[in-house]
């Protein structure tokens, strides 16, 4: 499909729908849920009730041939508030992980369970990072051993910084099945969070995105049926055999999920940056110093011009990467990583500059740019740090196996 910067009628309706929900529901509740540091279940229920949360909208967004649906939704929800929006969109990573690796039957069984219904809302969690293996998936220690006699997998290990950890109903877990093969010896499993041996003893207290629950999850000899292996045993055995022979294999499960999600994460960062920019712009029009609105000061107006330009640049990188992914184009220069790298940097910089424009007011919790700045920092860290994105890009453009 030919690329166009113009949004279709359906995409405009999605944008306006999500924006209205952010403006009317998310923003008025943002301070309270950030202060409480709890999953905003009533807002999730409201989102599910109007169709903004659930497997139906997930499938609708995935069917967009231009790939723009997810970035549009993410930008508008995160414009409302990053913590609440991450609670709404956190299940999507688990669902996409199932879709990326699972069979048709597994997708039909597990994806709806990641969301529940508008009457009984559920959430899912994608479990990949570990205390010693965040961006370095090759150092993953969680293991899955197959018990042929019972057709079960025995999973042991620890997952760290899990979004929706401790409150999720469905877990998608990355584990090592054949250590000698490195990342090619890993597989993904879907399971109920109440399976015996799974524990998430405490939630993490975070710098930002506080309305999104984050926790470490421990797996102590967890037994799951053979059907929990996403893609099935035959497909795994074939992939492992190819890897042992040194032949090319399908993409590592966690990285396949991250590649699908990075442009959307970039769009989340753009939403936060845009929110801070718009607030600072309005503030500068109203704030009077030495008898004149501060927006009339060149130092302020030029800074706002720079912020607006950087946000647009980040958004265009995000939209390009999403379009490339949806149309099956190769990320020859790691365009997906480029979009997340740029958007994360812009979010941190733009929110920090917004605080500067507000001066002392910006440093207080009475104004939302302080919260936006705290929220923005996560985009330099999760789903691949800033430095990991640089490494991925550098390897792509140089052809070298840089360390």
Q: Which residues carry out catalysis?
A: 383
Helix (H) and strand (E) counts for the chain? 13, 9
Assess contact for 158 and 131: CB atoms under 8 A: yes
Q: Is 310 exposed, middle or buried (0-12, 13-18, 19+ CB in 10 A)?
A: buried
CA nearest to 380, candidates 272, 279, 274, 281:
272
Tokens of 272: 């936060």
Sign of the alpha-carbon torsion through 157, 114, 38, 311: positive
Token reading at 129: 């990072």
By CB neighbour count within 10 A (0-12 exposed, 13-18 middle, 19+ buried), where does 60 fall? middle
Contact partners, residue 289, CB within 8 Å, separation at least 6:
297
Q: CA-CA distance, 103 to 232, in Å (whole number)? A: 7
Backbone angles phi, psi at 4, to 5 degrees: -140, 140
Under 8 Å CB-to-CB from 16, ≥6 apart: which residues?
Answer: none
Of 6, 13, 68, the closest CA to residue 320 belongs to 68
3-state secondary structure of 144: strand
- Identify any residues that bridge with 339 across adjacent strands, giving them in sequence order: none
Buried b (16+ CB within 10 A) or exposed e, 22-38: beebbbebbeebbeebb
CA angle (131, 134, 140) in 5-degree steps = 75
Residue 299 host element (H or E): helix 298-326
Whole-number Cα distances in Å, 340 to 104, 334, 380: 30, 10, 8
Angle at 116 between CA 82 and CA 152, to 5 degrees: 105
How far is C-alpha 402 from the chain's CA centre? 26
């Amino acid at each position: 499909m030919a690329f166009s910067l113009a949004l279709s009628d359906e995409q405009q309706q999605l944008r306006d729908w999500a924006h209205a929900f952010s403006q009317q529901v998310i923003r008025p509740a943002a301070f309270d849920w950030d202060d409480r540091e709890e999953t905003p279940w009533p807002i999730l229920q409201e989102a599910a009730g109007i169709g903004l949360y659930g497997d139906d909208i997930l499938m609708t967004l995935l069917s967009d041939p231009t790939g723009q649906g997810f970035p549009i939704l993410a930008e508008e929800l995160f414009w409302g508030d990053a913590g609440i929006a991450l609670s709404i969109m956190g299940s999507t990573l688990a669902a996409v992980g199932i879709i990326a690796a699972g069979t048709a039957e597994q997708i039909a069984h597990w994806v709806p369970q990641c969301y529940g219904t508008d009457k009984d809302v559920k959430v899912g969690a994608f479990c990949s990072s570990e205390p010693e293996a965040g961006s370095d998936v090759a150092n993953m220690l969680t293991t899955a051993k197959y018990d042929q006699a019972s057709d079960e997998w025995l999973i042991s290990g620890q997952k760290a910084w899990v979004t929706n950890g401790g409150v999720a109903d469905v877990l998608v877990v990355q584990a090592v099945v054949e250590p000698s093969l490195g990342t090619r010896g890993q597989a993904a499993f879907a399971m109920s969070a109440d399976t015996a041996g799974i524990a998430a003893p405490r939630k993490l207290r975070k710098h930002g995105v506080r309305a999104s629950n984050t926790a470490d999850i421990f797996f102590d000899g967890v037994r799951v049926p053979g059907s929990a292996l996403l893609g099935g045993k035959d497909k795994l055995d074939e992939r492992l055999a190819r890897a042992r022979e040194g032949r090319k294999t399908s993409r590592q499960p966690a990285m396949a999920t991250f590649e699908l999600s990075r442009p959307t994460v970039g769009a989340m960062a753009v939403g936060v940056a845009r929110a801070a920019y718009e607030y600072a712009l309005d503030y500068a029009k109203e704030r009077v110093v030495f008898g004149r609105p501060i927006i009339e000061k060149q130092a302020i107006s030029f800074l706002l011009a720079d912020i607006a330009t950087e946000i647009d640049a980040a958004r265009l990188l995000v939209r390009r990467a999403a379009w490339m992914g949806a149309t099956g184009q190769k990320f020859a220069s790691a365009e997906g990583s480029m979009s997340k790298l740029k958007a994360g940097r812009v979010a941190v910089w733009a929110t920090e500059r917004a605080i500067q424009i507000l001066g002392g007011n910006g440093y207080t919790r009475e104004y939302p740019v302080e919260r936006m700045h705290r929220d923005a920092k996560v985009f330099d860290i999760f789903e691949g740090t800033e430095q990991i994105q640089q490494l991925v890009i550098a390897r792509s453009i140089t052809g070298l196996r840089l360390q």
